[in-house]
Amino acid sequence: MAFSSPGGCALVLRFALFLFLLSNAGGAAATAAAASRRIPSRVGYKFTAQSQRNLLENGLGATPPMGVGMKWVLELQLEMVTADAMVSTGLAAIGYKYINLDDCWAELNRDSKGNLVPKASTFPSGIQALADYVHSKGLKLGIYSDAGTQTCSKTMPGSLGYEEQDAKTFASWGIDYLKYDNCYNTGTSPKERYPKMSKALLNSGRPIFFSLCEWGQEDPATWAASVGNSWRTTGDIADNWDSMTSRADQNDQWASYARPGGWNDPDMLEVGNGGMTTEEYRSHFSIWAVAKAPLLIGCDIRSMDNVTFELLSNKEVIAVNQDELGAQGKKVKTDGDLEVWAGPLSDNKVATVLWNRGSSTAKITAYWSDIGLKPTAVVNARDLWAHSTQLSLTGQLSADVDSHACKMYVLTPQ
């Protein structure tokens, strides 16, 4: 489903957003925002000429991608078992589809014809056999390359100068997703190198989701929508509180640039890797969901515990991330370490996260004026983690929130 033309789904999204704006913001500014299919300014979005750009016309990324990112742990059997686990745990049924290889999957040298060669010791049957197996499970396979001469591990070639050849190779293997890194790039701008692979993928004969990973160095949100389906806005995430929160903040500044077909990417999920508490992981997942970030699991789903599974499989939270309006939620209010994040959803609903980044329990209040609701609105507030609903709230939503924890709601006007 493509969103680069004014027909079909684009018109539906435009009309839905027009209705939201009319009901929640007034005056000429709101009307102008609706006409250009922007996110409501009442929740703090800044609309610029740079954000009004064409999207990549490959029909992919109508909602943020969901799947598993394999962090440099590569072998055929592991990938196949991971695909099995995606299905057997039920993760596939709730939207997790991509099994993504990372660095180190290929031999150090190309073959005599210049083709990338899967590492014989780990993929003796080749990548196409893996793709066939993954597809047989109803899933999709992602692969990794680099817009430089070598990948970051220096154990396999990059695709610089081989874009057309590598794109055709990936397509012939049945690849569905490409993560494209930025190591050993000869010092040239990613704005010069990444479009070459984008064009090559479009010419490959197969729809391939294109994930740019230049770590946000040249503000890709301002230019990458016509090149890829997602773009990293940050450096690599680590499995700790400070890294996670800083990635959330860095990603937040580009909220107005995200939309169906092109997403800001603050890196993969660390949920379940052991470096944070359960409440910190709940905050991590909630903020990534409301920010419409790709939901790419970074833990080993074959051995995850029940708590990790419950966090990653919350259908109500996932529904916020996958909402068809495609409006990235953002930080709309800060009071020291207490924050309110919010963003519009389809059907005039609003997603809201009350996030306590402080060291002690505190009350956090979101007023309707903070989150884009009319002051007179009467709403039902659905708590997405407690799975309970408060009826007929007026004016504000308040909750006591533990240290490093959050509360996440969907507010539905009556």
CA-to-CA distance for 292 and 255, rounded, in angstroms?
9
CB atoms within 10 A of CB 298: 18
Q: How many residues does the chain have?
A: 414
Q: What are phi and psi of 63, to 5 degrees?
A: -130, 160
Contact between 320 and 349 (Cβ < 8 Å): no
Q: DSSP class of residue 56?
A: P
> Counting beta carbons within 10 angstroms of the beta carbon of residue 107, is it exposed (0 to 12), middle (13 to 18) or buried (19 or more)?
middle
CA-to-CA distance for 18 and 37, rounded, in angstroms?
7
List, by residue number, the catalytic residues.
181, 236
The distance between the two most distant Cα atoms of the chain, rounded to a whole number of Å, is 71
Contact between 351 and 329 (Cβ < 8 Å): yes
Q: Strands 140-146, 177-181: parallel, antiparallel or unpaired by DSSP? A: parallel
Tell the residue number behind the tokens 């040249």, with chain if given.
218
Cα 140 from chain centre: 16
Closest CA relative to residue 268, chosen from 69, 40, 9: 69
Tell me how many degrees the CA angle 90-92-97 measures, rounded to the nearest 5.
Answer: 165
Tell the residue number behind the tokens 């259908």, with chain if given.
315
Structure tokens that stand for 104 in this block: 């180190």
